[in-house]
Amino acid sequence: MDRRAFLKASIGCSLAASPLVTPVTFAASDTGALGDHRLVVIILRGAMDGLDVVQPYGDPALPALRQRLRYGEGAGATDLDGFFALHPKLSPLMPLWNAGELGFAHAVSTPYRDKRSHFDGQDLLEAGVNSLNGRPRDGWLNRMLSTMPGVQSDMAYSIGQDRMYMMTGDAPVSDWSPDIGLHMTPHGQKLLDLVMHEDPLFQEATAEAMDILASLAAPATPVEDDEGMEMAGMEMMQMMEPAAEGSVGRVADFAASRLRGSTRIASFSIGGWDTHSNQPRNIGRALTQFSETIVRLRQGLGGVWRKTAVVAMTEFGRTARENGTAGTDHGTGGLALFAGGAIRGGRVYGDWPGLADSDLYHQRDLMPTRDVRAYAAWALAGLYGVDRATLETVVFPGLDLGPNPGLIA
């Protein structure tokens, strides 16, 4: 691969997991269409390590798989049920767990397998389909809205960002994003100056990469199998600093302000989950952002919280084994997180597959035991009364919902 292709691919793939850009999309309706319930869907971009977030410390195979990554109560985690423990950075959410307003689903995934591209994984998650072959032009949440009478757009809040794919389609929605700018640090600028010096081809590739960053369009095909090249792209992205702090908190506050009114559905993303190295530090930062988001949503929603369900999903999980840099690489089975007064929480949903070599997917990843889309679908059924046939043929075409997990209280 030449340098131009490398830069385009590595920065493009890194952008899919970037924590720096957070668009948020809203939908409003009259009370006849969606009733009083609120839904917040959060995409955790970058492939969150569910084995670290909700730690299966009761599985005897875990210590051998992750010898440097410490788990359980001895590492500050909080026991949930005698088998699973919650990462210490999510300890501010324990009051929700104790109140039955926080839950998790382990060993979940979309049908996406093996290639482990952030972009493709996120596209399939947001499209809600079985395959990206002949992908639809809309996302699953918009298709659900299209089945509801009386759905109308909220006021338009679009500041330089496209809609999330999940909310793209025929149903009217509105966009808003916080004032987030990016600037190059002096160290990053010096590096670019060095590598571009008297190299027009590389200079062109860098200009294209900056265009990608500015527009959130990713025309290049990301590197799917060489994660070392992707990590180099992540290092380049880390040279970009957010020009405004607290953007995730502002998104949560603004979402709550809209959901207290006529808005019934909000969706946005939180990045920073691509933990190839130094996972304790990197996932800790992302979990702190997630925890702050949930706390601020609950505070901002006030009495509306009891009618709210928050569903947080990621494109895929990470390897069961730690790598040589105290991190984990792209995997398969992952974790979904649920919060809100409308959630029947205080439990870890799903069938635990085990972490023995024979139980792992390709002796590498946590084995998925349920489609993550099924949890989202049953949430729609419980909140808005969407019938099973519509969910399996229109909203998530080709999905077998399976039994109702009882996610919605």
Looking at the domain assignment, is residue 192 inside a domain? no
Q: Which of 7-16, 84-93, 138-147, 341-350 has the lowest mean pLDDT?
A: 7-16
pLDDT at 63: 95
Looking at the domain assignment, is residue 191 inside a domain? no
Mean pLDDT to the nearest integer, 342-363: 98
Q: pLDDT band at residue 4, thresholds of 50, 70 and 90? A: very low
Looking at the domain assignment, is residue 49 inside a domain? yes
Looking at the domain assignment, is residue 163 inside a domain? yes
Q: pLDDT band at residue 233, thresholds of 50, 70 and 90? A: very low
Rounded to whole angstroms, how far apart are CA atoms 67 and 101?
A: 33
For residue 144, pLDDT over 80 is answered with yes
Q: Which residues share a beta bridge with 312?
A: 42, 337
pLDDT at 302: 97
For residue 249, pLDDT over 60 is answered with yes
Rounded to whole angstroms, how far apart are CA atoms 340 and 293?
A: 12
For residue 300, pLDDT over 90 is answered with yes
Question: What are the φ/ψ torsions at residue 85 (nearest 5 degrees)?
Answer: -130, 150
Q: pLDDT band at residue 240, thresholds of 50, 70 and 90? A: very low
pLDDT at 34: 82
Q: pLDDT band at residue 220, thresholds of 50, 70 and 90? A: very low
For residue 77, pLDDT over 90 is answered with yes
Answer for the pair 18, 271: CB distance below 8 angstroms, yes or no.
Answer: yes
**Pairwise pLDDT comparison (261 vs 298), residue with the higher score:** 298
pLDDT at 159: 23
Looking at the domain assignment, is residue 203 inside a domain? no
Mean pLDDT of the chain: 82
Mean pLDDT to the nearest integer, 31-57: 92
For residue 370, pLDDT over 80 is answered with yes
- Find the helix or strand (DSSP H, E) in which 42 lies: strand 38-44
State pTM to two decimals. Answer: 0.81
Answer for the pair 25, 173: CB distance below 8 angstroms, yes or no.
Answer: yes
Looking at the domain assignment, is residue 106 inside a domain? yes
For residue 187, pLDDT over 50 is answered with yes
Rounded to whole angstroms, how far apart are CA atoms 345 and 240?
A: 38
Mean pLDDT to the nearest integer, 178-201: 54
- Say how many domains are in the chain: 1
Answer for the pair 110, 139: CB distance below 8 angstroms, yes or no.
Answer: no
Looking at the domain assignment, is residue 137 inside a domain? yes
Q: Which of 78-92, 209-223, 268-282 has the lowest mean pLDDT?
A: 209-223
Q: Which domain holds residue 104?
A: 12-185+215-395
Q: pLDDT band at residue 30, thresholds of 50, 70 and 90? A: low
Answer for the pair 169, 146: CB distance below 8 angstroms, yes or no.
Answer: yes
CA-nearest of 206, 22, 220 to 118 is 220
Q: Which of 198-202, 315-319, 339-343 has the lowest mean pLDDT?
A: 198-202
**Pairwise pLDDT comparison (150 vs 333), residue with the higher score:** 333
Q: What is the CATH number of the domain that holds 68?
A: 3.40.720
Answer for the pair 118, 45: CB distance below 8 angstroms, yes or no.
Answer: yes
Q: 3-state DSSP call for residue 195?
A: helix
Q: pLDDT band at residue 206, thresholds of 50, 70 and 90? A: low
Looking at the domain assignment, is residue 248 inside a domain? yes
For residue 186, pLDDT over 80 is answered with no
